[in-house]
């Protein structure tokens, strides 16, 4: 089955490895043509349930405060909810003028927030989960690479605010895996050992166990790690 012939009535769910579905949309920063406008950059496309709600407000303030940190890793942010443009503008103005959260105040959200009253984009991206709420998007996160391919999808329910340090860790992990041709183990952070690709033949497996390379630490033939210093990781993935 291709992505275009889901059974009638079954909402389309993009998958990791798929090209990010294309759309044009009105946003708080003008019209965008997605993902074409972001070619050559990483982008986090995320949805939130509604403007003028507390969890969403705390998330937007946190994301906006971390925008420079994401930009250091060549990563742009794009938000979406099924509210209209004027609601978005009024909410972002209120956030800047009135809200203090965890020491953050006077926070200006300068990344685009998509208006999606018709739920066209939310439906295209599988952001509406009727069992949770049929008229609001859940808290979906799509991490899309510079070629426009979806690399990570994370969903949270309405009541659970996201962990933005984890989203930054995801970006760093994906970029590190691409750059060094490695995988990253549980709870990996830059500076922790990385996983060397598993031996793809009996010969390599045998050699690895008989004469492990000095740079590698093998628990068994299928589980070998190597060190990449945090500064090497940062030098490779961080924009200068
Ligand atoms: C919130 O952002 O606070 C929220 C939004 C929709 C449902 C529940 C909570």
d(CA 51, CA 53): 6
pLDDT given at position 11: 65
pLDDT given at position 1: 38
d(CA 127, CA 118): 13
pLDDT given at position 6: 58
Atom of ligand 1 at shortest distance to CA of 161?
A: 2
pLDDT at 2 over 70: no
Query: Phi, psi (5° rounding) for residue 137?
Result: -75, 145
Give the β-pairing of 216-220 and 150-156.
unpaired
CA torsion angle for 50, 55, 56, 62 (degrees, to 10)? Answer: 180
Q: Read off the pLDDT band of 8 (50, 70, 90).
A: low
Q: What is the mean pLDDT of the chain?
A: 94
Residue 224 annotated among the catalytic residues of the structure? no
To the nearest 10 degrees (0 to 180), the angle between helices 54-65 and 85-98 is 70
Using most ligand atoms within 8 A of CB, pick from 47, 50, 59, 81 the residue to mutate for ligand 1: 50
pLDDT given at position 5: 56
d(CA 228, CA 151): 22
**pLDDT tens, position by position, 98-148:** 999 999 999 999 999 999 999 999 999 999 999 999 999 999 999 999 999
pLDDT given at position 94: 98
pLDDT given at position 204: 87
**pLDDT tens, position by position, 203-239:** 888 988 888 888 999 999 999 999 999 999 999 999 8
Report the separation in Å between the CA atom of 33 and the middle of ligand 1, taken as the mean of its atom positions. Answer: 28
Q: Read off the pLDDT band of 198 (50, 70, 90).
A: confident
Atom of ligand 1 at shortest distance to CA of 136?
A: 6
pLDDT given at position 30: 98
Assess whether the C-beta atom of 54 lies below 6 angstroms from ligand 1. yes
Report the separation in Å between the CA atom of 51 and the middle of ligand 1, taken as the mean of its atom positions. Answer: 9
* Residue 148 and residue 113 in contact, taking contact as beta carbons nearer than 8 Å: no
CA torsion angle for 110, 112, 116, 122 (degrees, to 10)? Answer: -120
pLDDT at 87 over 50: yes
Report the separation in Å between the CA atom of 170 and the middle of ligand 1, taken as the mean of its atom positions. Answer: 24
Give the β-pairing of 42-47 and 75-81.
parallel
Other CB atoms within a 10 A radius of the CB of residue 173 amount to: 24
Bridge partners of residue 1, in order along the sequence: none
pLDDT given at position 12: 76
Question: What residues are designated binding site?
Answer: 139
Give the β-pairing of 139-144 and 113-115.
unpaired
Helical H segments across the chain, by residue range: 54-65, 67-71, 85-98, 120-124, 164-180, 202-210, 230-237
d(CA 112, CA 127): 18
pLDDT given at position 156: 98
- Residue with the larger pLDDT of the pair 12 and 53: 53
Question: What residues are designated binding site for substrate?
Answer: 139
């Amino acid at each position: 089955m291709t992505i275009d012939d889901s059974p009638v009535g079954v909402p389309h769910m993009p998958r990791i490895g798929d090209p990010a579905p294309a759309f044009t949309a009105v946003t708080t920063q003008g019209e965008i043509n997605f993902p074409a406008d972001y070619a050559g950059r990483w982008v986090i496309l995320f949805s939130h349930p509604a403007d003028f709600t507390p969890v969403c407000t705390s998330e937007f303030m946190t994301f906006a405060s971390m925008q420079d940190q994401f930009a250091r890793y060549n990563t742009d942010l794009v938000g979406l909810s099924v509210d209209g443009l004027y609601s978005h503008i009024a909410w972002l103005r209120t956030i800047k003028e009135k809200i203090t959260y965890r020491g953050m105040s006077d926070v200006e959200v300068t990344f685009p927030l998509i208006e999606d009253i018709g739920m066209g984009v939310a439906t295209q991206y599988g952001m509406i989960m009727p069992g949770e709420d049929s008229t609001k998007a859940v808290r979906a996160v799509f991490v899309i690479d510079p070629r426009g391919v979806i690399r990570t999808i994370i969903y949270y329910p309405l009541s659970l605010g996201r962990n933005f340090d984890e989203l930054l860790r995801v970006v760093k992990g994906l970029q590190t895996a691409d750059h060094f041709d490695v995988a990253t183990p549980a709870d990996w952070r830059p500076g922790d050992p990385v996983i060397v690709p598993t031996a793809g033949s009996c010969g390599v497996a045998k050699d690895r166990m008989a004469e492990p390379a000095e740079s590698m630490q093998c628990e068994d033939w299928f589980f070998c790690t190597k060190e990449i210093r945090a500064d090497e990781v940062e030098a490779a993935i961080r924009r200068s």
